[in-house]
């Protein structure tokens, strides 16, 4: 009951946050140059045809009326229709968003493994060689453009060594995708018992996951290292050492107390990676929601952009609510 009450307090703020995000994103998207009606009809369209289409799309209405119409349609589950794909945006995002979530999730898992491991090892011996390597890696990862790193990995592992598959999507062109259940090909191929497809899906994940995981492990590494150093120098850790507690157990207790800060940076990165994966999706022709939104921006197709922002916002808010519950489990005192 305490967990439910704690969760209810957090859910109260979800709707206002979503409305604010929708409003800001709507105003920003509307500021994108280009007339959707002109792009839809082509350069040879007459003024009368353009005016008729603008009236049909509601583009001749004041901006606040367009926003109210969009919110009204949202309440009925209508995110609009993309004029590029001629499909409802909701259907397009249901098809593409799982690909982005799959890429981001595996990348974050790699970033957690690398960042937390190096951070703990560096904190145990701040003057050792692991700490020096961690400092260099943390600075390099923070300054490394992910799209450039992706191109380097493609050149080395695909062009030179030939170890990786061609960066042309999520599966080999000779493999038929399984029936979509979750949208994540690694899971769908397993559920279908398609081991060849599973191997191909994993092989195509390697380079984009390495790109995002290694680049974004830096913040986790720095947060883990700095927090662990404070915990290992705190009074309770010194007391454990004086009592003869084994060093590994002292480190485990320090890590437990450092987890709230580490979980915070992980949750922020999870939401950030949804948008940060856009360029990597384009480099690897991933076909995810980020690539879909970029195409919408370039072609003044506003509904895919707004839909992507809305889906990303909902995903981020869900992540933050889960993190709040993790905080509650780590330290129930925060509910007081």
At residue 331, the pLDDT reads: 62
pLDDT score for 148: 87
Q: Distance between CA atoms of 324 and 317, rounded to whole angstroms? A: 10
State residue 179's pLDDT score.
Answer: 80
Structure tokens at 89: 């945006």
- Quote the pLDDT of residue 270: 86
Contacts of residue 180, defined as CB under 8 A and 6 or more positions apart, other chains included, come to 95, 188
CA separation for the pair 103, 70 (Å, rounded): 30
Report the alpha-carbon distance of residue 303 to residue 168 in Å, rounded: 26
Burial of 62 (0-12, 13-18, 19+ CB in 10 A): exposed
pLDDT means over runs of 10, the chain (336 residues): 70 80 83 71 74 76 82 82 82 87 91 90 83 84 83 91 86 81 84 87 91 89 87 82 82 83 84 82 85 80 85 84 74 55
HEC readout, the chain = CHHHHHHHHHHCCHHHHHHHHHHHHHHHHHCCCCCHHHHHHCCCCCHHHHHHHHHHHCCCCCHHHHHHHHHHHHHCCCCCECCCCCCEHHHHHHHHHHHHHHHHHHHHHHHHHHHHHHHHHHHHCCCCHHHHHHHHHHHHHHHCCHHHHHHHHHHHHHHHCCCCCCCCCCCCCCCCCCCCCCCCHHHHHHHCCCHHHHHHHHHHHHHHHHHHHHHHHHHHHHHHHHHHHHHHCCHHHHHHHHCCCCHHHHHHHHHHHHHHHHHHHHHHHHHHHHHHCHHHHHHCCCCCHHHHHHHHHHCCCHHHHHHHHHHHHHHHHHHHHHHHHHHHHHCHHHHC
pLDDT of 34: 67
Predicted TM-score (pTM) of the model is 0.81
């Amino acid at each position: 009951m305490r967990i439910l009450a704690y969760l209810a307090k957090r859910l109260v703020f979800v709707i206002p946050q979503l409305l604010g995000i929708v409003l800001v994103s709507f105003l920003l998207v509307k500021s994108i140059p280009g007339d959707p009606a002109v792009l839809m009809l082509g350069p040879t369209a007459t003024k009368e045809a353009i005016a008729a289409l603008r009236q049909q799309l509601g583009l001749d209405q004041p901006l606040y009326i367009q926003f109210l119409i969009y919110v009204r349609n949202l309440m009925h589950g209508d995110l609009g229709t993309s004029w590029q794909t001629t499909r409802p945006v909701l259907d397009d995002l249901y098809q593409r968003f799982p690909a982005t979530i799959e890429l981001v999730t595996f990348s974050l898992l790699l970033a957690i493994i690398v960042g937390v491991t190096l951070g703990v090892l560096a904190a145990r011996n701040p003057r050792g060689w692991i700490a020096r390597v961690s400092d260099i890696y943390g600075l390099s990862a923070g300054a490394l453009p992910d799209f450039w790193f992706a191109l380097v990995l493609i050149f080395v592992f695909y062009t030179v060594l030939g170890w990786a598959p061609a960066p042309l999507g999520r599966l080999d062109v000779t493999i038929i995708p399984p029936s979509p259940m979750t949208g994540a090909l690694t899971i769908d191929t397993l559920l279908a018992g398609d081991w060849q497809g599973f191997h191909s899906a994993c092989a195509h994940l390697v380079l984009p996951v390495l790109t995002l995981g290694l680049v974004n492990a830096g913040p986790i590494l720095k947060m883990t290292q700095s927090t662990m150093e404070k915990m290992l120098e705190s009074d309770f850790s010194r007391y454990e050492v004086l009592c003869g507690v084994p060093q590994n157990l002292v480190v485990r207790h320090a890590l437990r107390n450092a987890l709230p800060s580490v979980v915070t940076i992980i949750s922020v990165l999870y939401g950030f990676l949804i948008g940060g994966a856009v360029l990597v999706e384009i480099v690897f022709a991933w076909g995810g929601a980020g690539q879909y939104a970029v195409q919408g921006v370039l072609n003044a197709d506003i509904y895919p952009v707004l839909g992507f922002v809305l889906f990303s916002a909902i995903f981020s808010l869900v992540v933050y609510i889960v993190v709040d519950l993790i905080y509650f489990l780590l330290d129930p005192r925060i509910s007081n």
